[in-house]
Structure 1
């Protein structure tokens, strides 16, 4: 798994390191806090950049001495693996993947529990997008049989949920021509007529889908019906969700599913550090940056922070939420 530091994160760190003749001493006192996000064309990446900028010492109401960096990755599973191995201090994950990892069930059955995984905050709903070319003749999940479909890269949360949804309709990867691409490359292949549909789990509007819809007629496939009703009963981390009309050009309102986007870390991270990071996340300056920076930023609120936890809170985050009166 490869991580790459964003230009935005590098700039924040460089600004701190260049500050005055005492830069060498300051470096020794700084805390570096990586945030594993996802592919650059998804929602995790820009949200991670906004948060990293806001909570870094150079950001609005940032944490003193902190250099936070947003890091691109393969997504939820990859981020949790990086936290477990010590390759990253924190990362974003779908709530279902975080639950499976901590409990050693589902995707993590037989792989052992990630017992040190801890929650910093629930961020916003992540919507299951099933994007298809408008001329591909796909009106339902069942119509994906025999089609060229990207289910995302191994290590992502999307691939897990894509397999669950396909399975609910009796479809396996043998029934489709599977590709393993992020939304950006999927959109490029769809524009070229080399792909019929792709799955993506993330907050809307997703940049890659917005860009695709601006140049190519697309549709979103509804994820509903008795198969989905049964699935909702079986997998409690799913919830019903709606994508409003014209979220993407020419696409009407559709019913689908959602999980929660969560910011997770390790219990090994210092309590004071995570407390200050959590406090900074809900500061007035960060609020302004999130509201202005991305549509999903508006949903990162103190009230939503403790919803659908699924795994234990980090002690530092828990202390802040209790002081803020949102957690007993």
Structure 2
């Protein structure tokens, strides 16, 4: 089966971005809603990393007050996720020395001692953070406790996550949260097309390819395909999941 370009090219936004676009909130506050966004599958978790300089004495999100912190660029999904995390701990951008840098420059400034911490959203281990941990040393700041629990209860597209010990050099196991990469399409796509694409996504051959590829491939499972939705399923995908017993 060949994928239509307009369908395939809409893969993998974070559910928070998809939710904001569909509901006209967050990054899309005051903009036109993207009402026809539909989900094919939730794929794998993208971990929220709060990377700190090893000697910055940042043990918790609360310790960011007064620190130099990059939240990522304006308009990015990361900056909105970062603001949600900060707000959960009673922190605003006025409480920190906020910078708005891409992860690469943020890592460079952290290495040079010009930045205390930065937010990054992505799977672990991430190459740039691994290099930084090896060359300069880092700490990962946990996002946990009652503040994180409240955040999770109020935002269904976040989930608990853990960066395992050793994912980055000399960094212990760290509790945090994640958002999931998702595969989305338009409600305008034919039901039969999306049904067949979803069916192929979960056949034995695809399973073997996912397991043999990137480490994240093993985390792409039928069991998780309908979790943390945020937006409606496409009717074609929904039909397959009901037939597969994933949905009632």
Structure 1 length-normalised TM: 0.68
Q: Could you tell me how far apart the structure 2 residues matched to 1:293 and 1:183 are? A: 25
1:148-159 equivalences under 5 Å are: 148-159=68-79
Q: CA deviation at 1:107?
A: 4.1
Q: 2:232 aligns with which of 312, 315, 324?
A: 312
Alpha-carbon distance in 1 for matches of 2:221, 2:84: 29
How many residue pairs get aligned? The number is 248
Equivalent in the alignment of 1:92? 12
Task: Say whether residues 1:257 and 2:177 are aligned partners.
Answer: yes
Distance 2:213 2:106 in 1: 25
1:121 matched residue in structure 2: 41
Q: Does the residue aligned with 2:13 lie in a helix, a strand or coil? A: strand
Query: 292, 300, 305: which is aligned to 2:212?
Result: 292
TM-score, length-normalised on structure 2? 0.88
Hey, what's the Cα distance between the residues in 2 that align with 1:323 and 1:234?
A: 31
1:179 pairs, out of 86, 99, 103, with 99
Deviation >4 Å, runs of 4+ = 86-89
Other structure's SS at 2:222 match: coil
State yes or no: 1:195 paired with 2:90: no
Q: What whole-Å deviation, never above 9, does each CA across 1:222-261 have from its counterpart, x for those lacking one?
A: 1123332332333233232222111111100111122222
| 8 Å Cα contact 1:120/1:264 also seen in 2 | yes
Q: Structure 2 regions of 5+ residues with no counterpart?
A: none
Higher RCO structure (Cα 8 Å, ≥6 apart): 2
**Structure 2 CA distance for aligned equivalents of residues 188 and 292 of structure 1:** 33
Structure 1's unaligned 5+ residue stretches are 1-62, 69-85
Are residue 327 (structure 1) and residue 238 (structure 2) matched? no
Answer yes or no: is the 8 Å Cα contact 2:11–2:185 preserved in 1. yes
- Does structure 2 retain, via aligned residues, the 8 Å contact 1:205–1:295? no
